[in-house]
Amino acid sequence: MSDLPSPDQNSGGYPSISSDSALARSLNAFADWFSRHWLLLVTSIMMVYSLLPFVAPVLMKLGATAAAQVIYQPFKLVCHTYGFRSFFLFGQQIDYPRGETSGVFQSDTGITLDPGGLLQAREFQGNDQMGYKVAVCERDNAIYLAIALSGIAFAFVRKSARPLPWILFILIGIIPIGIDGFWQLFSEYPLSLLPYHESTAFLRVITGGMFGFSVAWLVFPLIEETMTGAYKNRQQDIKRQTSNDEVQPF
């Protein structure tokens, strides 16, 4: 019994893991790597996330339908993917807007936009005449791509960049997308509380891009400040630990 390790009262009665353990070293190494390369990681993810939806219609055009579904289906979990609010590739038009009672999308697809038709519009992926749908809607495309491009731009000014003031974030990012999106939402079936408004591809791209830009320039400088401070603190801790080890008596 006397050979058992004594409980560590500062850790709830159990022995603490040595700071020199392999696990601790691995976690510290990962934390150091992430604090120095977070921007590359985030920007790469957002770039892939924004461009991958365009691969789906390419695969459809090539006849690789099953491979295209690997892209289409997961994105349906994060986007409405309505055909009348999405870009199309390889067709007569780049987009097919709907109208209040009729529109290009309705006439070209034969889908009536009642509740059942909305589900059909979500599932519709295109055809040889209309082309094939990009896997997320126009506004989401603009948001993700704006964040990715902002990440690239931020890399050149990251040491001097400051967070976007909240008032500008609201004016640039929130109000335009809010007016366009909520007016559309509240003017159409089943709410129909405002005069009818169906946004355009141009407005969705502009307001989505402004939102993505403002989010990036609000958040990226804050993350950079946090990561830089955390990295410096870890380096100081390592230096202090090294100094303490060097003066330890025999």
Classify residue 188 by its DSSP letter. Answer: S
Q: Which of 250, 226, 164 is nearest to 31 (CA)?
A: 226
In Å, what is the CA distance from 84 to each residue of 5, 21, 133, 181, 182?
68, 57, 10, 15, 17
Residue 52 lies in a domain: yes
147 in a domain, yes or no?
A: yes
Looking up tokens 């040595």, which residue turns up? 18
**Using an 8 Å Cβ cutoff, are 193 and 187 in contact?**
yes
Q: Which of 89, 94, 93 is nearest to 60 (CA)?
A: 89
Whether 152 is covered by a domain: the verdict is: yes
Range of the domain at 50: 33-237
pLDDT of 152: 96
Do 142 and 204 meet the contact criterion of CB atoms below 8 Å apart? Answer: yes
Q: Is residue 245 part of a domain?
A: no
Q: Which amino acid is at 80?
A: H
Considering the domain boundaries, does residue 250 fall inside one? Answer: no
Confidence of residue 232 (pLDDT cuts 50, 70, 90): low
Chain centre to alpha carbon of residue 133: 20
| Residue 188 pLDDT | 76
How much is the average pLDDT of 213-217? 97
> What tens digit of pLDDT does each residue of 48-72 get?
999 999 999 999 999 999 999 999 9
pLDDT of 11 reads 45
CA distance 16 to 189: 60
Q: Is there a domain that residue 26 lies in?
A: no
- Determine contact, residues 187/196, Cβ cutoff 8 Å: yes
With bands split at pLDDT 50, 70 and 90, how would you rate the model's confidence at 195?
Answer: confident
Helices (H), 76-161: 104-109, 115-123, 138-154
pLDDT digits (tens, 9 = 90+) for 113-170: 787 888 999 999 999 999 999 999 999 999 999 999 999 999 999 888 999 999 999 9
Q: What is the pTM of this model?
A: 0.80
Domain count, the chain: 1
Indicate whether 167 belongs to any domain. yes
- Mean pLDDT value across the chain: 85
**Residue 195 included in any domain:** yes
Q: Which two tokens stand for residue 54?
A: 């365009």
Nearest Cα to Cα of residue 73 among 43, 52, 47: 52
